[in-house]
Amino acid sequence: MNADLVVVGSGFFGLTIAERAASQLGLKVAVLDRRHHIGGNAYSENEARTGIEVHRYGAHLFHTSNERVWDYVHNFTEFTRYVHKVYTRHKGEVYPMPINLGTINQFFRTALGPVEARALIQEQAGELAGTDPQNLNDKGIQLIGRPLYEAFIKYYTGKQWQTDPKDLPAEIISRLPVRYTYDNRYFNDKYEGLPVNGYTAWIERMADHPNIDVHLNTDFFDEGHEYSRSSTLGQVPVIYTGPVDRYFDYAEGDLSWRTIDLEEEVLPIEDFQGCSVMNYPDEDAAYTRIHEFRHFHPERDYTKDATVIMREYSRFAEKDDEPYYPINTAEDRAKLLAYRDLAKGEKSMLFGGRLGTYKYLDMHMAIGSALSMFDNKIAPHFTSGQKLESGGVDA
């Protein structure tokens, strides 16, 4: 076998491992991906008619407060000064999102200051005020009170997850900031921006090393190629970033995932909605949001004759669908623990990334966790013979 290390999956997790192993340890790395391109869900391409860059698997916004990750990614790309802002359209009116003083005052037709607004929301959170709820429904009400929750979160979350918000973990909603200022940046992170030459140029730079050999359209579980599961077993260390339940042939049952359908349309106008993302939190629209890709790169000289939009629909993932968002109900968490136990028994095999750990990871988290795995497990294994043990699915 012509590789010291096999990486299954060329998303940010797999590529970070491959890049570090090749450039820092001089290892020969084979990277497999069953898709026809590298980059996993962050892959983008220019729409054929307009040349506008579209993110094929849903809009991807890079943001991080992790200094190490921010330094690392600058090895491959520069970032624009894009700051993500989202608007939401409720009952024929457009509000800024996430919920901030502007949203609160517009919704209640008031001109409250921060202290008064906090008091109002606390009152509207009722018995949940000051508590620390563990499910999405109660957490949402505790954070923003019942009226705002029902307007902006309840139906949107219903469309996005089709799971009772009482059965969803509170972390999902805790991702969204609530601000008692007029700051309507979507993310709280210290750094954000979009790759100046697009995601694919960034991803290709990561894989561009003479020791990295990429094999596309290659599924780890298919026989008939030299890096399949049966050929690599016990021969060479493998980093697996595909779905963990698939790896164990669903022995402990299927983990539940959400997938999304993206309906793309090219419109013969310069600008459709005036911003990159408009959310639709009401029941009357079946989609959760509309992305308009030209607004991610206002610095580019895109055509004025057309624009590209994508409506996003969310649904439960069946076996043949791309698994995107782990649903993470109590049942799923029990299955995940069982998979973690199984993973401990796998020799020379590490599980990582969003699919391999069944975790809602942003790009910077996937990269950060790959850098830690490289430092703590892969480098010590190759430089001083430390045993390569997964220690559970949670790398």
Catalytic hit among 312, 332, 339, 358: 312
Q: Which amino acid is at 116?
A: E
Residue 149 or 227: the one with the smaller Cβ distance to ligand UDP is: 149
Query: Rounded to whole angstroms, how far apart are CA atoms 139 and 230?
Result: 46
Q: Which does 137 bind (CB under 5 to 8 A by kind): ligand UDP, ligand FAD, none?
A: none
Q: Is residue 160 involved in binding ligand UDP (CB under 6 A)? A: yes
Per the annotation, the verdict on 360 as an active-site residue is yes
Among 293, 77, 292, 52, smallest CA distance to 195 is for 77
CB of 55 to ligand FAD, least distance (A): 8
Q: Quick check: is 189 catalytic?
A: no
Residue 68 bears catalytic tag: no
The interface mask with ligand UDP, positions 256-275, x = CB under 6 A, is: --------------------
Residue 175 bears catalytic tag = yes
Work out the angle at residue 105's Cα, subtended by the Cα atoms of residues 100 and 111, and round it to the nearest 5 degrees.
Answer: 120
Three-class SS state of 388 = coil
Q: Which of 97, 128, 151, 170 binds ligand UDP (CB under 6 A)?
A: 97
Q: Is 152 a binder of ligand UDP (CB under 6 A)? A: yes
For 25, the enclosing helix (H) or strand (E) is helix 12-25
Q: Which is nearer to ligand FAD, 142 or 160 (CB)?
A: 160
Which residue number, 86 or 128, has a Cβ lying nearer to ligand FAD? 86
User: Quick check: 200 binds ligand UDP (CB under 6 A)?
Assistant: no
> Least CB distance from residue 182 to ligand UDP, whole Å?
18
- Nearest Cα neighbor of 20 from 374, 271, 319 is 374
The entry of ligand FAD, ligand UDP, none that residue 160 binds, CB within 5 to 8 Å by partner kind: ligand UDP
Residue 238, judged by CB atoms within 10 A of its CB (0-12, 13-18, 19+), counts as: buried
Question: In 149-292, which residue ranges form alpha helices assigned H by DSSP?
Answer: 155-161, 171-174, 199-207, 229-232, 244-247
Binding site residues, ligand FAD, CB under 6 A: 8-14, 32-35, 40-42, 57-62, 219-221, 241-242, 260, 324, 353-355, 361-364, 366
CB of 361 to ligand FAD, least distance (A): 4
Residue 223 annotated among the catalytic residues of the structure: no
* Rounded Cα distance, 237 and 349, in Å: 6
The answer to the question of residue 173 lying near ligand UDP (CB under 6 A) is yes
Instruction: Kindly list the distances between the CA atom of residue 111 and the CA atoms of 60, 92, 95, 167, 374, in Å, as whole numbers in the listed order.
Output: 34, 21, 15, 36, 52
Active site residue 312: yes
Catalytic residue status for 179: yes
For residue 41, give every residue at least 6 positions away whose Cβ sits within 8 Å of its Cβ, in sequence order, or none.
11, 57, 58, 60, 322, 324, 354
Catalytic residue among 20, 289, 294, 354: 289
Per CB under 6 A, 100 contacts ligand UDP: no
Residues labelled as active-site residues: 175, 179, 258, 289, 312, 360, 362
